[in-house]
Amino acid sequence: MKPLTLRRLLVQCLTLVVVLFLVVVIALKFGAVPVSLYALGRDLLSVLFGQTSQISSDYGLIIVNIRLPRILLGMIVGASLSVAGTSFQALLRNPLADPYVLGVSSGASLGAILALIVEPHLSVSPLFAALLTPLGAFLGAAATITAVYFLGRREGQIDSTTLLLAGVITGSFLSAIILFLMSTLSGSLRGLSFWMMGELSTPLQKSVYWFLGVGFFVAAGAIYTTASDLNLLLSGEKEAMHLGVDVPRVRLVVYIAASFLTGLAVSVSGAVGYVGLIVPHVMRFIFGSDHRTLLPTAAIGGAIAVIMADTLARTVVAPTEVPVGAVTAVIGAPLFIYLLRRRLA
């Protein structure tokens, strides 16, 4: 018997943080302007440990103003989607659940687009206007997961196949509406591939990064308070209740927080798919299925995965860029099929 200890949890997370750092350094290196890996690593470490306040070399501007913001964005998007995926998998008792597969990302996209359409007609302060898109995305995500949850039930019970089908169909329905809106309306709605596949190339204001960071930690923190409850929910809601879990409360907290995380990610990056599916599975394989470990490791792993996918997206057919969601889908969709077949066997 080796129950989880705080020490083991910290060691596991720290290991992943080191991997994350290495991936960030490598991602910073790649791009149109060549940068030495060694110099980059040395400069970053000296900034991290407060020895200098800025990267003083000639490539500093590109790193700080162009590549680093994009990587930060990728970290938040990846972490949010992974935590959301992990939560949906536990609550719906479905190892194939993921914000994208369940159509929740499409719902968030639609919500964000509607917010962008409505925004010019509202006379609100610029600060509130900036929050309107994530709010719309959150509401879209929350409405979609609620709809899919009820569509996925059969005889009062969640049926995993029905649920997945309901999610996929809802997603394609919402995508059709997005396509319809995009082709009839023009203006500052960003590109179609942004909402359908996801991109990290949109520049954002500095305050938005703060909002994303704080939003992520609040929502992921709320989900983490239910980590032990989620462990018990894996055996079913009734059993969890008999073991002392306040099921309705946990369900409410986690659905709202996971929808918020999906909305957060989608409002700034569009619908990047399969991250919430692949990353929790990999982390479960390495660290086991205890949510006290799984949630933080999935968050860090999600950051790693999206940065790696985006680096590929930027470099694989350079100078052209592929949407990052295309890279995650090319890797994620076959894995989904593999997991589905293995489960049926």
Partner 1 sequence: MSSGSALARNSFDPARAGSDARLSVEQVSYAYSANPTQAPLFTLEATSFQAKPGEIVAILGPNASGKSTLLNLIAGALAPLSGRILLDGFVTHSLTPKTRAQRIAVVQQESRLLFPARAWEFVLQGRHAHGRSLRFESEDDVLIAKNALAQVGAAELSDRWMDQISGGEKQRVILARALAQQPLLLLLDEPTLHLDIAAQVGLLDALRRLAAENRYTVVVVTHELNLAAEYADQVVLMQRGRCLRVGPPANIYQRELLEQVFQTPLTVEMGASGRPRVTVLSAT
* Residues 6 or more apart in contact with residue 204 via CB below 8 angstroms: 69, 73, 268
Question: Taking the complex as a whole, how short is the minimal distance between the CB of residue 225 and partner 1, in angstroms?
Answer: 5
Q: How far is the CB of 151 from partner 1 (least distance, A)?
A: 19
State how far the Cα of 4 lies from the Cα of 228, in Å rounded to an integer: 11
CB of 278 to partner 1, least distance (A): 16
Nearer to partner 1, 66 or 234 (CB): 234
CB 261 within 8 A of CB 83: yes
Residue 150, φ and ψ in degrees, nearest 5: -80, -35
Among residues 13 and 182, whose Cβ is nearest to partner 1? Answer: 13
Provide the 3-class DSSP secondary structure of residue 158. strand
Distance (Å, whole) CA 322 – CA 307: 14
Residue among 1 and 127 whose Cβ is closer to partner 1: 1
Residue type, 206: K
Cβ neighbours, 10 Å, residue 33: 12
Q: Of 54 and 225, which has the nearer Cβ to partner 1?
A: 225
Q: Computed over its alpha carbons, how large is the radius of gyration of the chain? A: 20
CB of 232 to partner 1, least distance (A): 6
Distance CA 14, CA 7 (A): 10
> Cβ 96 to partner 1, closest distance in Å?
11
Kindly tell me which of 117 and 158 has the beta carbon lying closer to partner 1.
158
The nearer residue to partner 1, 138 or 336, going by C-beta atoms, is 336
Whether 53 and 64 have beta carbons less than 8 Å apart is answered as no
- Residue type at 120 in one-letter notation: P
Angle at Cα 263 formed by Cα 103 and Cα 298, nearest 5°?
A: 85
CB of 292 to partner 1, least distance (A): 7
Q: Which is nearer to partner 1, 178 or 223 (CB)?
A: 223
At position 67, the amino acid (one-letter code) is R
Smallest gap from residue 235 Cβ to partner 1 (A): 6
Report the nearest approach of partner 1 to the CB of residue 107 (Å). Answer: 25
Alpha-helical (H) ranges within 198-290 are: 206-224, 227-233, 237-242, 247-269, 275-287
- CB 8: neighbour CB atoms within 10 A? 13
Report the first-to-last Cα separation within the chain, whole angstroms. Answer: 31
Give residues in contact with partner 1 (CB under 8 A).
Answer: 1, 3-6, 89-90, 93, 95, 224-229, 231-232, 234-236, 238-239, 241-247, 284, 289-290, 292
